[in-house]
């Protein structure tokens, strides 16, 4: 299940976006764009979290495996 | 591969189709729920082929609820995601060398919501000897209108329990050589940074004897995205590319692929390639890997002047699957 926007795992996720592993092509493309925006300073962390949260909310069913991997395995473990 | 008559029969039977072929064949087809784009190069059931007599036809499954078609000029291009269905996918065909081709390639990745539904398709082309003389075209079967300057999309609606997925197969991997950066977004490059040192890109390619059949490769979170090298102008010290480079992205020259058909078939065995309703592959793979007469698994479809899976790709096979959730 997708964590709420104020969950600290989102901050971890944005800080480590380059290390994230996803399998779906749309998620790869979306996260690449997010990474470029973060790198170019085009958006602050709160905006990046809002964009990522909105994307994963829209695709929660289709990207269930990727979401589980990001938040349960990676961010979840590092934040626990 | 189908004849005009066989394709006409499918259209008249109410099938929803995505059709690739020579202009004079597409122009003979009756109106119906189809879109098309020009190319005389294909991956057919028996392997790669050139044909001005046959059409390549991808039939959308009966699970598709409805389709709508729309042309987009440069001004309206960014509205494509607005026309996505809540559940579904979209095809896009763009005439090569048009203003809309370049605008799509440079801007689409920044459009809001572009990644919300699978967007796949191809850049329509012509016989290579006719480049610059004959304009590639796209055809809207619903209205009977064709265009050499506008992109054409078919937006397909699916029931909520059916899911479409855009996928790619790219045999090229980034080499371990220099990291390349480009300060400007675009298809034409003069300046680049090689491991953070400023160079002229044409000079760099020539001095390092880079084989320009190998694309530049960027890693998009595990998806390898190629940029094909079209022309190196030593005198003008300028390089023309088949897709734009972006300033925020690291590029490397690809490792050569030994035998494209063999490696491709190996890679297909490891991927999810059932329920494929559409695929397309690149004219550069067709040429450089000598794919004429060679099969690439069960994948059939147009050989194109650019492949689209959300963004413009080069030297990549794109396919769309439709499956039950």
ipTM of the modeled complex: 0.90
Mean pLDDT across B145-150: 98
The answer to whether B246 contacts A20, with C-beta atoms less than 8 Å apart, is: no
Domain range annotation of chain A: 8-79
The answer to whether A29 contacts B311, with C-beta atoms less than 8 Å apart, is: yes
DSSP 3-state of B266:
helix
pLDDT band per the 50, 70, 90 thresholds, residue A37: confident
Give dist(CA B322, CA B325) in Å, integer. 9
To test the contact with chain A by mutation, choose from B158, B221, B272 the residue with the greatest count of A C-beta atoms within 10 A, namely B221
Q: Which residue among A26, A39, A40 places its CB closest to the CB of B115?
A: A26
User: Higher confidence at residue A42 or residue A77?
Assistant: A42
State pLDDT tens for residues B231-268: 999 999 999 999 999 998 999 999 988 887 788 777 77
DSSP 3-state of B62:
coil
Instruction: Give the distance from CA B115 to its chain's centroid.
Output: 16
Domain range annotation of chain B: 4-169+261-324, 180-253
Taking alpha carbons only, the member of B281, B119, B309 closest to residue B220 is B309
Say yes or no to pLDDT of B92 above 80. yes
Q: What is the structure's pLDDT at A80?
A: 39
What percent of chain A has pLDDT above 90? 39
Give dist(CA A37, CA B228) in Å, integer. 24
Structure tokens at A1: 């299940």
**Residue B9 phi, psi (nearest 5):** -60, -40
- List the Cα angle B50/B51/B56 in 5-degree steps: 100
**Which residues share a beta bridge with B146?**
B139
């Amino acid at each position: 299940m997708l964590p709420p926007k104020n969950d600290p795992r989102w901050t971890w996720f944005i800080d480590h976006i380059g290390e994230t592993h996803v399998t779906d092509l749309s998620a790869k493309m979306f996260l690449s764009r997010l990474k470029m925006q973060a790198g170019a300073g085009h958006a602050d962390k709160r905006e990046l979290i809002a964009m990522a949260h909105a994307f994963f909310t829209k695709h929660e069913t289709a990207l269930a495996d990727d979401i589980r991997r990001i938040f349960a395995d990676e961010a979840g473990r590092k934040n626990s | 591969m189908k004849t005009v008559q066989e394709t006409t029969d499918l259209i008249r039977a109410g099938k929803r189709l995505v059709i690739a072929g020579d202009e004079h064949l597409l122009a003979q087809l009756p109106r119906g729920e189809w879109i098309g784009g020009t190319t005389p190069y294909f991956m057919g059931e028996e392997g790669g082929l050139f044909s001005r007599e046959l059409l390549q036809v991808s039939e959308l499954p009966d699970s598709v609820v409805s389709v709508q078609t729309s042309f987009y000029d440069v001004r309206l291009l960014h509205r494509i995601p607005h026309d996505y269905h809540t559940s579904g996918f979209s095809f896009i065909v763009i005439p090569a060398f048009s203003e809309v081709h370049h605008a799509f390639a440079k801007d689409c990745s920044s459009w809001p919501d572009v990644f919300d539904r699978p967007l796949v398709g191809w850049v329509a082309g012509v016989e290579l000897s006719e480049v610059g003389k004959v304009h590639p075209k796209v055809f809207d079967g619903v209205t009977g209108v064709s265009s050499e300057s506008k992109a054409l999309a078919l937006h397909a609606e699916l029931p909520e329990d059916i899911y479409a997925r855009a996928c790619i197969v790219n045999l090229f991997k980034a080499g371990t050589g220099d990291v390349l950066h480009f300060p400007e977004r675009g298809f034409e490059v003069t300046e680049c940074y090689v491991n953070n040192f400023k160079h002229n890109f044409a000079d760099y390619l020539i001095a390092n004897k880079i084989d320009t059949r190998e694309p530049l490769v960027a890693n998009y979170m595990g998806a390898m995205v190629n940029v094909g090298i079209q022309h190196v102008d030593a005198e003008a010290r300028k390089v023309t590319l088949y897709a734009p480079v972006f300033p925020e992205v690291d590029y490397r020259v690809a490792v050569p692929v030994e035998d494209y058909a063999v490696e491709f078939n190996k890679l297909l065995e490891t991927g999810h390639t059932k329920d494929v309703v559409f695929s397309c592959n690149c004219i550069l793979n067709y040429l450089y890997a000598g794919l004429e007469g060679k099969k690439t698994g069960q994948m059939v479809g147009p050989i194109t002047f650019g492949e689209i899976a959300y963004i413009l790709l080069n030297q990549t096979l794109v396919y769309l699957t439709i499956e039950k959730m």
